[in-house]
Structure 1
Protein backbone atom coordinates (compact mmCIF):
# COMPACT_ATOMS: atom_id res chain seq x y z
CA UNK A 1 0.00 0.00 0.00
CA UNK A 2 1.25 3.47 -0.92
CA UNK A 3 -0.12 6.62 0.71
CA UNK A 4 0.65 9.92 -1.01
CA UNK A 5 -0.03 13.22 0.76
CA UNK A 6 -0.75 16.32 -1.34
CA UNK A 7 -1.34 19.83 -0.04
CA UNK A 8 -4.20 21.92 -1.36
CA UNK A 9 -5.10 19.96 -4.49
CA UNK A 10 -4.43 16.84 -6.52
CA UNK A 11 -1.35 16.87 -8.75
CA UNK A 12 -1.98 17.12 -12.47
CA UNK A 13 -0.58 13.64 -13.17
CA UNK A 14 -3.00 11.73 -10.89
CA UNK A 15 -5.98 9.93 -12.46
CA UNK A 16 -8.49 7.44 -11.09
CA UNK A 17 -10.17 5.79 -14.06
CA UNK A 18 -13.93 5.33 -14.19
CA UNK A 19 -14.53 5.21 -10.41
CA UNK A 20 -12.93 6.70 -7.33
CA UNK A 21 -13.49 6.01 -3.64
CA UNK A 22 -13.72 9.20 -1.58
CA UNK A 23 -13.87 10.09 2.10
CA UNK A 24 -13.35 13.27 4.11
CA UNK A 25 -12.04 14.26 7.50
CA UNK A 26 -13.33 17.44 9.14
CA UNK A 27 -13.07 19.28 12.43
CA UNK A 28 -16.57 18.09 13.37
CA UNK A 29 -19.96 17.12 12.01
CA UNK A 30 -21.38 20.58 11.26
CA UNK A 31 -20.31 21.67 7.74
CA UNK A 32 -21.27 25.28 8.44
CA UNK A 33 -19.00 25.40 11.49
CA UNK A 34 -16.38 22.67 11.05
CA UNK A 35 -13.90 23.01 8.25
CA UNK A 36 -12.84 20.40 5.73
CA UNK A 37 -9.33 19.17 6.58
CA UNK A 38 -8.61 16.15 4.40
CA UNK A 39 -9.98 14.43 1.30
CA UNK A 40 -8.97 10.81 0.72
CA UNK A 41 -9.18 9.14 -2.67
CA UNK A 42 -8.40 5.71 -4.13
CA UNK A 43 -8.94 4.01 -7.46
CA UNK A 44 -9.21 0.63 -5.74
CA UNK A 45 -5.64 -0.36 -6.60
CA UNK A 46 -4.46 -0.51 -2.99
CA UNK A 47 -3.06 3.02 -3.03
CA UNK A 48 -4.48 6.20 -1.53
CA UNK A 49 -4.08 9.89 -2.25
CA UNK A 50 -4.68 12.27 0.66
CA UNK A 51 -5.34 15.93 -0.10
CA UNK A 52 -4.72 18.09 2.96
CA UNK A 53 -6.86 21.21 2.74
CA UNK A 54 -5.59 24.52 4.10
CA UNK A 55 -7.91 26.86 5.95
CA UNK A 56 -10.38 28.38 3.50
CA UNK A 57 -11.17 29.82 1.11
CA UNK A 58 -10.60 26.55 -0.69
CA UNK A 59 -9.05 26.51 -4.15
CA UNK A 60 -8.70 22.97 -5.51
CA UNK A 61 -9.57 23.06 -9.23
CA UNK A 62 -8.31 19.56 -10.11
CA UNK A 63 -10.09 17.94 -7.16
CA UNK A 64 -13.25 19.91 -7.95
CA UNK A 65 -13.15 18.84 -11.59
CA UNK A 66 -12.85 15.20 -10.53
CA UNK A 67 -15.82 15.47 -8.17
CA UNK A 68 -18.00 17.04 -10.84
CA UNK A 69 -16.95 14.73 -13.71
CA UNK A 70 -20.11 12.94 -14.89
CA UNK A 71 -18.03 10.08 -16.34
CA UNK A 72 -16.47 9.13 -13.00
CA UNK A 73 -18.49 7.29 -10.35
CA UNK A 74 -17.74 8.52 -6.83
CA UNK A 75 -17.91 5.82 -4.14
CA UNK A 76 -18.65 6.81 -0.54
CA UNK A 77 -19.56 5.23 2.75
CA UNK A 78 -22.28 7.42 4.29
CA UNK A 79 -21.98 9.70 1.31
CA UNK A 80 -24.67 12.02 2.62
CA UNK A 81 -22.15 13.69 4.93
CA UNK A 82 -19.14 13.74 2.60
CA UNK A 83 -21.13 15.02 -0.38
CA UNK A 84 -22.55 17.84 1.74
CA UNK A 85 -19.13 18.77 3.12
CA UNK A 86 -17.53 18.81 -0.33
CA UNK A 87 -20.31 20.87 -1.88
CA UNK A 88 -20.26 23.35 1.00
CA UNK A 89 -16.45 23.72 0.95
CA UNK A 90 -15.73 23.55 -2.78
CA UNK A 91 -19.04 24.58 -4.31
CA UNK A 92 -19.15 21.44 -6.44
CA UNK A 93 -21.94 18.90 -6.75
CA UNK A 94 -20.73 15.27 -6.70
CA UNK A 95 -22.45 13.17 -9.35
CA UNK A 96 -22.83 10.28 -10.06
CA UNK A 97 -22.41 8.65 -6.66
CA UNK A 98 -22.61 5.27 -4.93
CA UNK A 99 -22.98 4.81 -1.18
CA UNK A 100 -21.98 1.51 0.42
CA UNK A 101 -23.99 2.34 3.55
CA UNK A 102 -27.22 2.78 1.60
CA UNK A 103 -26.54 -0.41 -0.37
CA UNK A 104 -25.87 -2.30 2.85
CA UNK A 105 -29.10 -1.06 4.43
CA UNK A 106 -31.06 -2.31 1.42
CA UNK A 107 -29.62 -5.85 1.47
CA UNK A 108 -28.44 -6.51 5.05
CA UNK A 109 -31.82 -6.16 6.74
CA UNK A 110 -30.94 -8.92 9.21
CA UNK A 111 -28.63 -6.56 11.14
CA UNK A 112 -28.40 -2.96 12.31
CA UNK A 113 -24.63 -2.79 11.86
CA UNK A 114 -23.80 -0.73 8.79
CA UNK A 115 -20.51 0.91 9.76
CA UNK A 116 -17.53 0.63 7.46
CA UNK A 117 -15.69 -1.46 10.02
CA UNK A 118 -18.63 -3.89 10.21
CA UNK A 119 -18.96 -4.21 6.43
CA UNK A 120 -15.25 -4.71 5.86
CA UNK A 121 -15.15 -7.42 8.51
CA UNK A 122 -18.31 -9.23 7.41
CA UNK A 123 -17.96 -8.98 3.63
CA UNK A 124 -14.20 -8.75 3.07
CA UNK A 125 -12.64 -10.32 6.16
CA UNK A 126 -10.72 -7.09 6.80
CA UNK A 127 -10.38 -5.68 10.32
CA UNK A 128 -10.17 -1.88 10.28
CA UNK A 129 -8.81 0.14 13.18
CA UNK A 130 -10.88 3.19 14.17
CA UNK A 131 -8.50 4.53 16.81
CA UNK A 132 -7.75 7.77 14.95
CA UNK A 133 -11.38 8.56 14.08
CA UNK A 134 -11.66 11.42 16.58
CA UNK A 135 -8.12 12.77 16.32
CA UNK A 136 -7.26 16.38 15.40
CA UNK A 137 -7.51 16.51 11.62
CA UNK A 138 -6.80 20.22 11.59
CA UNK A 139 -3.19 19.68 12.67
CA UNK A 140 -0.64 21.12 10.25
CA UNK A 141 1.34 17.86 10.27
CA UNK A 142 -0.56 14.57 10.24
CA UNK A 143 0.90 11.55 12.01
CA UNK A 144 1.61 8.29 10.21
CA UNK A 145 -1.24 6.74 12.23
CA UNK A 146 -3.67 9.40 11.04
CA UNK A 147 -2.67 8.94 7.41
CA UNK A 148 -2.97 5.15 7.63
CA UNK A 149 -6.41 5.47 9.20
CA UNK A 150 -7.55 7.99 6.60
CA UNK A 151 -6.35 5.79 3.75
CA UNK A 152 -8.13 2.73 5.17
CA UNK A 153 -11.48 4.51 4.74
CA UNK A 154 -11.17 4.45 0.94
CA UNK A 155 -8.98 1.44 0.16
CA UNK A 156 -11.80 -1.11 0.44
CA UNK A 157 -14.81 0.70 -1.05
CA UNK A 158 -14.37 -0.76 -4.54
CA UNK A 159 -14.31 -4.30 -3.14
CA UNK A 160 -17.31 -3.56 -0.95
CA UNK A 161 -19.22 -2.21 -3.92
CA UNK A 162 -18.64 -5.45 -5.83
CA UNK A 163 -19.95 -7.53 -2.91
CA UNK A 164 -22.94 -5.26 -2.33
CA UNK A 165 -23.82 -5.10 -6.04
CA UNK A 166 -24.06 -8.90 -6.08
CA UNK A 167 -26.37 -8.80 -3.06
CA UNK A 168 -28.51 -6.07 -4.62
CA UNK A 169 -28.96 -8.25 -7.70
CA UNK A 170 -29.75 -11.29 -5.56
CA UNK A 171 -32.42 -9.40 -3.61
CA UNK A 172 -33.85 -7.61 -6.64
CA UNK A 173 -33.05 -4.14 -5.27
CA UNK A 174 -30.54 -2.75 -7.77
CA UNK A 175 -33.00 -0.28 -9.31
CA UNK A 176 -34.11 0.90 -5.86
CA UNK A 177 -30.50 1.43 -4.82
CA UNK A 178 -29.69 3.41 -7.96
CA UNK A 179 -32.68 5.68 -7.36
CA UNK A 180 -31.47 6.31 -3.80
CA UNK A 181 -27.94 7.06 -5.02
CA UNK A 182 -29.29 9.50 -7.60
CA UNK A 183 -31.18 11.39 -4.89
CA UNK A 184 -28.25 11.48 -2.50
CA UNK A 185 -26.67 14.75 -3.75
CA UNK A 186 -30.07 16.43 -3.31
CA UNK A 187 -30.40 14.98 0.20
CA UNK A 188 -26.96 16.42 1.01
CA UNK A 189 -28.00 19.79 -0.41
CA UNK A 190 -31.09 19.76 1.83
CA UNK A 191 -28.82 19.15 4.82
CA UNK A 192 -26.70 22.17 3.93
CA UNK A 193 -29.76 24.32 3.23
CA UNK A 194 -31.24 23.74 6.69
CA UNK A 195 -33.29 20.53 6.62
CA UNK A 196 -30.84 18.02 8.17
CA UNK A 197 -33.33 16.44 10.57
CA UNK A 198 -36.56 16.88 8.61
CA UNK A 199 -38.24 14.18 6.53
CA UNK A 200 -39.71 16.33 3.78
CA UNK A 201 -41.75 13.34 2.60
CA UNK A 202 -43.54 12.95 5.93
CA UNK A 203 -47.15 14.14 6.33
Structure 2
Protein backbone atom coordinates (compact mmCIF):
# COMPACT_ATOMS: atom_id res chain seq x y z
CA UNK A 1 0.00 0.00 0.00
CA UNK A 2 1.29 3.42 -1.00
CA UNK A 3 -0.32 6.66 0.12
CA UNK A 4 -0.04 10.01 -1.67
CA UNK A 5 -1.31 12.93 0.40
CA UNK A 6 -2.53 16.10 -1.32
CA UNK A 7 -3.68 19.39 0.15
CA UNK A 8 -6.84 20.81 -1.44
CA UNK A 9 -6.71 19.06 -4.84
CA UNK A 10 -5.32 16.28 -7.02
CA UNK A 11 -2.27 16.96 -9.21
CA UNK A 12 -3.26 18.24 -12.65
CA UNK A 13 -1.31 15.52 -14.47
CA UNK A 14 -2.64 12.56 -12.47
CA UNK A 15 -4.40 9.86 -14.53
CA UNK A 16 -6.42 7.38 -12.48
CA UNK A 17 -7.86 5.48 -15.43
CA UNK A 18 -11.45 4.65 -16.28
CA UNK A 19 -12.52 3.05 -12.99
CA UNK A 20 -11.74 5.07 -9.85
CA UNK A 21 -12.49 3.91 -6.33
CA UNK A 22 -13.70 6.80 -4.17
CA UNK A 23 -14.54 7.29 -0.51
CA UNK A 24 -15.07 10.26 1.78
CA UNK A 25 -14.44 11.13 5.41
CA UNK A 26 -16.65 13.72 7.09
CA UNK A 27 -17.30 15.26 10.48
CA UNK A 28 -20.38 13.07 10.91
CA UNK A 29 -22.99 11.03 9.12
CA UNK A 30 -25.39 13.77 7.96
CA UNK A 31 -24.39 14.92 4.45
CA UNK A 32 -26.30 18.20 4.71
CA UNK A 33 -24.83 19.03 8.10
CA UNK A 34 -21.37 17.55 8.44
CA UNK A 35 -18.35 18.98 6.64
CA UNK A 36 -16.41 16.97 4.08
CA UNK A 37 -12.82 16.64 5.26
CA UNK A 38 -11.11 14.07 3.05
CA UNK A 39 -11.62 12.34 -0.29
CA UNK A 40 -9.78 9.10 -1.06
CA UNK A 41 -9.22 7.92 -4.62
CA UNK A 42 -7.48 4.89 -6.12
CA UNK A 43 -7.01 3.39 -9.57
CA UNK A 44 -6.84 -0.08 -8.03
CA UNK A 45 -3.07 -0.23 -8.35
CA UNK A 46 -2.26 -0.31 -4.64
CA UNK A 47 -1.82 3.47 -4.49
CA UNK A 48 -4.27 5.71 -2.64
CA UNK A 49 -4.50 9.45 -3.19
CA UNK A 50 -5.83 11.36 -0.18
CA UNK A 51 -7.18 14.85 -0.86
CA UNK A 52 -7.63 16.98 2.24
CA UNK A 53 -10.47 19.41 1.57
CA UNK A 54 -9.98 23.06 2.50
CA UNK A 55 -11.97 23.70 5.69
CA UNK A 56 -12.82 27.30 4.75
CA UNK A 57 -14.45 26.33 1.47
CA UNK A 58 -12.37 28.95 -0.33
CA UNK A 59 -10.13 26.54 -2.27
CA UNK A 60 -11.98 24.71 -5.04
CA UNK A 61 -10.46 21.34 -6.02
CA UNK A 62 -10.71 21.86 -9.79
CA UNK A 63 -8.79 18.77 -10.85
CA UNK A 64 -10.73 16.44 -8.59
CA UNK A 65 -14.05 17.95 -9.65
CA UNK A 66 -13.11 17.55 -13.31
CA UNK A 67 -12.53 13.85 -12.65
CA UNK A 68 -15.85 13.49 -10.83
CA UNK A 69 -17.66 15.25 -13.68
CA UNK A 70 -16.16 12.95 -16.32
CA UNK A 71 -19.02 10.59 -17.18
CA UNK A 72 -16.64 8.24 -19.03
CA UNK A 73 -14.96 7.42 -15.71
CA UNK A 74 -16.77 4.90 -13.55
CA UNK A 75 -16.91 5.94 -9.90
CA UNK A 76 -16.60 2.96 -7.60
CA UNK A 77 -17.91 3.25 -4.03
CA UNK A 78 -18.90 1.17 -1.06
CA UNK A 79 -22.23 2.62 0.13
CA UNK A 80 -22.32 5.20 -2.65
CA UNK A 81 -25.53 6.74 -1.32
CA UNK A 82 -23.64 8.60 1.42
CA UNK A 83 -20.57 9.65 -0.56
CA UNK A 84 -22.60 10.82 -3.56
CA UNK A 85 -24.78 12.95 -1.28
CA UNK A 86 -21.73 14.45 0.44
CA UNK A 87 -20.07 15.36 -2.86
CA UNK A 88 -23.35 16.72 -4.22
CA UNK A 89 -23.91 18.89 -1.16
CA UNK A 90 -20.32 20.13 -0.93
CA UNK A 91 -19.48 20.77 -4.58
CA UNK A 92 -22.79 20.53 -6.42
CA UNK A 93 -21.47 17.56 -8.40
CA UNK A 94 -24.12 15.29 -9.93
CA UNK A 95 -22.22 12.05 -10.35
CA UNK A 96 -22.96 9.65 -13.18
CA UNK A 97 -21.57 6.20 -14.01
CA UNK A 98 -21.67 4.95 -10.41
CA UNK A 99 -20.98 1.47 -9.05
CA UNK A 100 -21.69 0.50 -5.45
CA UNK A 101 -20.19 -2.66 -3.98
CA UNK A 102 -22.67 -2.61 -1.10
CA UNK A 103 -25.67 -2.72 -3.45
CA UNK A 104 -24.00 -5.41 -5.55
CA UNK A 105 -23.35 -7.41 -2.38
CA UNK A 106 -26.98 -7.17 -1.30
CA UNK A 107 -28.11 -8.47 -4.69
CA UNK A 108 -25.86 -11.54 -4.73
CA UNK A 109 -24.95 -12.29 -1.09
CA UNK A 110 -28.56 -12.87 -0.07
CA UNK A 111 -27.45 -15.56 2.38
CA UNK A 112 -26.26 -12.89 4.84
CA UNK A 113 -27.24 -9.50 6.19
CA UNK A 114 -23.61 -8.43 6.62
CA UNK A 115 -22.64 -6.19 3.72
CA UNK A 116 -20.08 -3.88 5.29
CA UNK A 117 -16.71 -3.36 3.64
CA UNK A 118 -14.95 -5.23 6.43
CA UNK A 119 -17.17 -8.31 5.94
CA UNK A 120 -16.81 -8.20 2.15
CA UNK A 121 -13.01 -8.02 2.31
CA UNK A 122 -12.86 -10.87 4.80
CA UNK A 123 -15.16 -13.24 2.89
CA UNK A 124 -14.30 -12.47 -0.73
CA UNK A 125 -10.62 -11.50 -0.46
CA UNK A 126 -9.51 -13.12 2.82
CA UNK A 127 -8.29 -9.68 3.92
CA UNK A 128 -8.80 -8.31 7.43
CA UNK A 129 -9.26 -4.54 7.59
CA UNK A 130 -9.54 -2.37 10.69
CA UNK A 131 -12.33 0.13 11.33
CA UNK A 132 -10.70 1.55 14.46
CA UNK A 133 -10.20 5.07 13.06
CA UNK A 134 -13.69 5.34 11.54
CA UNK A 135 -14.99 7.72 14.21
CA UNK A 136 -11.82 9.74 14.70
CA UNK A 137 -11.53 13.52 14.20
CA UNK A 138 -11.21 14.01 10.45
CA UNK A 139 -11.33 17.79 10.75
CA UNK A 140 -7.81 18.00 12.16
CA UNK A 141 -5.30 20.10 10.22
CA UNK A 142 -2.80 17.26 10.44
CA UNK A 143 -4.04 13.69 10.12
CA UNK A 144 -2.26 10.87 11.92
CA UNK A 145 -0.58 8.05 10.04
CA UNK A 146 -3.23 5.70 11.43
CA UNK A 147 -5.99 7.87 9.98
CA UNK A 148 -4.28 7.95 6.58
CA UNK A 149 -3.87 4.17 6.53
CA UNK A 150 -7.49 3.66 7.53
CA UNK A 151 -8.71 6.09 4.85
CA UNK A 152 -6.58 4.40 2.19
CA UNK A 153 -7.88 0.96 3.09
CA UNK A 154 -11.43 2.07 2.29
CA UNK A 155 -10.62 2.28 -1.44
CA UNK A 156 -7.68 -0.05 -2.04
CA UNK A 157 -9.77 -3.23 -2.35
CA UNK A 158 -12.85 -1.97 -4.20
CA UNK A 159 -11.65 -2.92 -7.68
CA UNK A 160 -11.01 -6.52 -6.62
CA UNK A 161 -14.38 -6.69 -4.88
CA UNK A 162 -16.09 -5.34 -7.99
CA UNK A 163 -14.55 -8.07 -10.15
CA UNK A 164 -15.87 -10.81 -7.89
CA UNK A 165 -19.29 -9.21 -7.46
CA UNK A 166 -19.63 -8.68 -11.22
CA UNK A 167 -19.08 -12.41 -11.77
CA UNK A 168 -21.78 -13.24 -9.24
CA UNK A 169 -24.21 -10.67 -10.66
CA UNK A 170 -23.83 -12.21 -14.09
CA UNK A 171 -24.20 -15.74 -12.75
CA UNK A 172 -27.41 -14.84 -10.92
CA UNK A 173 -28.81 -12.84 -13.83
CA UNK A 174 -28.89 -9.58 -11.87
CA UNK A 175 -26.41 -7.40 -13.75
CA UNK A 176 -29.09 -5.21 -15.34
CA UNK A 177 -30.96 -4.94 -12.06
CA UNK A 178 -27.77 -3.80 -10.34
CA UNK A 179 -27.22 -1.15 -13.01
CA UNK A 180 -30.74 0.17 -12.51
CA UNK A 181 -30.03 0.44 -8.78
CA UNK A 182 -26.75 2.26 -9.43
CA UNK A 183 -28.53 4.70 -11.74
CA UNK A 184 -30.97 5.58 -8.95
CA UNK A 185 -28.25 6.47 -6.42
CA UNK A 186 -27.97 10.12 -7.47
CA UNK A 187 -31.74 10.55 -7.14
CA UNK A 188 -31.60 8.87 -3.74
CA UNK A 189 -28.86 11.33 -2.72
CA UNK A 190 -31.03 14.27 -3.77
CA UNK A 191 -33.87 12.87 -1.67
CA UNK A 192 -31.57 12.42 1.32
CA UNK A 193 -30.48 16.04 1.10
CA UNK A 194 -34.06 17.21 0.58
CA UNK A 195 -35.86 15.25 3.26
CA UNK A 196 -33.34 13.17 5.18
CA UNK A 197 -32.32 9.52 5.08
CA UNK A 198 -35.48 8.37 6.85
CA UNK A 199 -37.68 9.63 4.01
CA UNK A 200 -38.95 6.67 1.95
CA UNK A 201 -40.69 7.83 -1.21
CA UNK A 202 -41.96 4.28 -1.84
CA UNK A 203 -43.68 3.90 1.53
CA UNK A 204 -47.47 3.58 1.64
TM-score (structure 1 length as normaliser):
0.98
CA distance in 1, matches of 2:110, 2:72: 31
- What does residue 17 of structure 1 align with? 17
- What does residue 165 of structure 2 align with? 164
- What does residue 86 of structure 1 align with? 87
- Measured after TM superposition, the shift of residue 195 of structure 1 is 4.1
CA distance in 2, matches of 1:192, 1:142: 28
- What does residue 118 of structure 1 align with? 119
Aligned CA-pair RMSD: 0.9
Gaps of 5+ in 2: none
Q: Does 1:143 align with 2:159?
A: no
CA distance in 2, matches of 1:170, 1:7: 43
Measured against aligned partners, the alpha-carbon deviations of 1:120-170 in whole angstroms (never above 9, x if no partner) come to: 000011100111111100010011110000000000000000000001011
CA distance in 2, matches of 1:105, 1:71: 26
Give SS of 1:23's match.
Answer: strand
Q: Within 5 Å, give how 1:20-35 maps onto structure 2.
A: 20-35=20-35
Q: Within 5 Å, give how 1:60-99 maps onto structure 2.
A: 60-99=61-100
- What does residue 192 of structure 1 align with? 193
Give SS of 2:49's match.
Answer: strand
- Measured after TM superposition, the shift of residue 30 of structure 1 is 1.2
Aligned residues: 203
**Runs of at least 4 residues of structure 1 off by over 2 A?**
none
- What does residue 201 of structure 1 align with? 202
1:60–1:90 CA contact under 8 A, matched in 2: no
- Measured after TM superposition, the shift of residue 198 of structure 1 is 1.8
- Measured after TM superposition, the shift of residue 196 of structure 1 is 2.0
1:21–1:155 CA contact under 8 A, matched in 2: yes
